[in-house]
Amino acid sequence: MAFSGALRLVDLDDFIGPSTECIKPVKVLEGSESASVVRINGGESLPKAQITLNDCLACSGCITSAESVLISKQSDEEMIRVFAANKSKPLDDPSRLVLIVSISPQSAASLATRYDIAAAETTTKLAGLFKHLGADHVFDLSLAIAMSLRESARDFVDRARRSREAAPLPMLASACPGWVCYAEKAHGSHILPHIGTAKSPQQIMGSLVKHHFGRRFGKTPDQIYHVTVMPCYDKKLEASRSDFYDDIYRTRDVDCVVTSLEIEKLIQDQNIDMTRLSSVKPDFLTSNQHGESCYGSGSDGYLEFILHYAAKELYNCPAKELSVKTLRNRDFKEVTVAVDNGDPVVPLKFAIAYGFRNIQTLIQKIKRKRCDYQFVEVMACPSACLNGGGQIRARENETSKDVLAKVETLYGSLGSESEKGKLEAALGEVYDVWLGGEDSETARTLLHTRYHAIERTINPFTVKW
């Protein structure tokens, strides 16, 4: 089954085992052949089935949300259609949209491996590509990543200072939509209070673009078409959540999500030579120019950032001598640090859990109250976002491990201390000028979200890991 020209059900090695409960029921008309008979050739053709993102991603056996978005609205074909239609309109046409594209560093690193160029250069090449297609502005996600990290760290420190009953620990990372959707559908009130409330970088960028940046041009949110380039198909599901829909303007913070694979397909379909594309520097959301950020792991480095932030805020001293211990496998690690501020040594104990097998182990620890971690960086994909389902596949003469190693190296080349300094200045402008301060109601509304327990329709004892 294909969801778009680039997505195929292949290379699945970390998923819930299929069962009869995972199949969407199909109505059998009275008098028709038995449902157990499948005719491959011949016979009356049936209407083409339509599925939605909520049917197939993190499925719990049925459609569980009324706010479903057809996959055709979340594809490179739809993006090209909107861009072409907009490009044909006169500049003074009031119906002309402002087209904005935001590029994730994980996608830039993945595409860089395909075309053998540096990750930072790939971002400029992609900016040139989208400007050629008609985009008015192209951004990288560095500012949104920095804001998501900061809001997550502030959330953790607030929880650590409160009682366990009011703010349960461990706090679990919230940036992975596949993991969040699974938690909502399979574990509800047992796990949702543990998930941090900070929005992911994609959705923070959507809030900034639609509700603040557009004001520079006198544009309302529905007059802006926002595309993100991401490493994961579940990001399409995240963009379609009702929490990120503006009822007043009837628009989403992110209108279309395209993956690294879909960008590769677009480049192939249009016979574009990436090496000959004009390089264009990404635009800036603020007057303080900022650059690429790269904190720690391939999932933007939530564990590392929050650990250092917490050591400073809670114990007023830097985190030193991090101890990393691999547990079940390379995707389940424990990170501890001894914080010595003159008093007895106080340990901070964090962990990473990537892939659903490790997530299940973590959840069981939490439910049995045997989890002594304070924060866990949780991601649905093994090896995290750099290995997302929408990333570039290995060629015939390559292995998946080889490609991932290259992506990790290129991703690690992004960012520097000087660039992080520029980011701090840009963050100050966004918080102080746009949001009215870090603790303002505007900041809380635009940078945080909530989760919803969804009634489960499958027997959890049939799920195999």
| C-alpha pair distances (Å), 171 with each of 242, 302, 349 | 24, 11, 12
Sign of the Cα pseudo-torsion (425, 430, 432, 437, in order) = negative
Beta strands in 198-344 (DSSP E): 224-230, 245-246, 251-252, 256-259, 320-326, 332-339
Check whether 9 has a pLDDT greater than 70.
no
Fold classification of 164-197+298-397 is Fe-only Hydrogenase (Larger Subunit); Chain L, domain 3 (3.40.950)
Quote the mean pLDDT of the chain: 82
Helix (H, G, I), strand (E, B) or coil at 327: coil
Instruction: Please state the rounded mean pLDDT for residues 307-313.
Output: 92
Q: What pLDDT, in 10s, does the model give residues 262-271?
A: 999 999 999 9
Domain definitions of the chain by residue range: 71-145+200-289+415-447, 164-197+298-397
pLDDT grade for 20, boundaries at 50, 70 and 90? very low
**Which element (helix H / strand E) includes 148?**
helix 142-161
The yes-or-no verdict on residue 141 having pLDDT over 90 is: yes
Give the pairing type, strands 332-339 and 346-354: antiparallel
Mean pLDDT within 411-439? 80
**What share of the chain in percent tops pLDDT 70?**
76
User: 21-35, 190-204, 229-243 — which is least confidently predicted?
Assistant: 21-35
Q: 10 Å Cβ neighbour count for 275? A: 10
CB 226 within 8 A of CB 102: yes
Pairwise CA distance, residues 388 & 414, whole Å: 18
Are the CB atoms for 184 and 453 separated by under 8 Å? yes
Q: Could you give the CA distance from residue 28 to residue 36 in angstroms, rounded to a whole number?
A: 10
What pLDDT score was predicted for residue 372? Answer: 92
Instruction: Find, among 76, 199, 212, 73, the residue nearest to 148 by Cα.
Output: 199
Residue 317's pLDDT is 81
CATH of 71-145+200-289+415-447, one of 3.40.50.1780, 3.90.550.10, 1.10.3720.10, 3.90.1170.10: 3.40.50.1780
At 171, list the tokens. Answer: 């706090």
Least confident span in 182-186, 311-315, 384-388, 460-464: 460-464
Question: What pLDDT score does 423 carry?
Answer: 77
DSSP 8-state assignment for residue 330: T
CA distance 152 to 197: 7
> How many other CB atoms are there within 10 angstroms of residue 198's CB atom?
25
Is 399 in contact with 407 (CB distance < 8 Å)?
A: no
Q: Sign of the C-alpha dihedral, residues 273, 121, 278, 239?
A: positive
Give the best-scoring range by mean pLDDT among 59-73, 325-339, 355-369.
355-369
- How does strand 346-354 pair with strand 98-103? unpaired
Query: In whole angstroms, what is the distance from residue 383 CA to residue 307 CA?
Result: 20
446 falls in which pLDDT band (50, 70, 90)? very high
Q: Cis omega before residue 170 (within 30°)?
A: yes
For residue 424, what pLDDT is reported?
Answer: 80
User: For position 342, what pLDDT does the model report?
Assistant: 62
Q: How confident is the model at residue 26 (pLDDT cuts 50, 70, 90)?
A: very low
Phi, psi of 146 (to 5 degrees): -60, -40
- pLDDT at residue 285 above 80? yes
Tokens found for residue 394 = 């290995």
Of 150, 389, 135, 422, nearest to 282 by C-alpha is 135
Please report the pLDDT score of residue 19 as a whole number: 37
Which class for 316: exposed (0-12), middle (13-18), buried (19 or more C-beta within 10 A)? exposed
- Between 43 and 135, the higher pLDDT residue: 135
Which residues make beta-bridge pairs with 354?
379
Structure tokens at 244: 């990120």
What pLDDT does 155 receive?
96
In this prediction, residues 311-330 reach a mean pLDDT of: 85
Q: How far is the C-alpha of 181 from the C-alpha of 289, rounded, in Å?
A: 35
| pLDDT surpassing 90 at residue 323 | no
The residue written with tokens 């502030």 in the block is 154
DSSP H helical segments within 88-141, as ranges?
105-115, 119-133
d(CA 315, CA 318): 8
pLDDT at position 450, please?
94
Give residue 188's pLDDT: 87
Q: Is the CB of residue 351 less than 8 Å from the CB of residue 372?
A: no
Predicted local distance difference test score (pLDDT) of residue 228: 97
Name 372's Cβ contacts closer than 8 Å, sequence gap at least 6: 349
Residue 16 reports pLDDT greater than 50: no
Which residue has better confidence, 251 or 53?
A: 251
Confidence of residue 22 (pLDDT cuts 50, 70, 90): very low
Quickly count: other Cβ atoms within 10 Å of residue 70's Cβ. 13
User: Residue 463: CA atoms inside 13 Å, Cβ hemisphere, count?
Assistant: 19
Pairing verdict, β 251-252 and 245-246? antiparallel
Choose the weakest-confidence range: 225-234, 279-288, 331-340, 417-426: 417-426
DSSP string, 159-174: HHHS-TTTS-SSEE--
The Cα 445–Cα 447 span in angstroms is 6
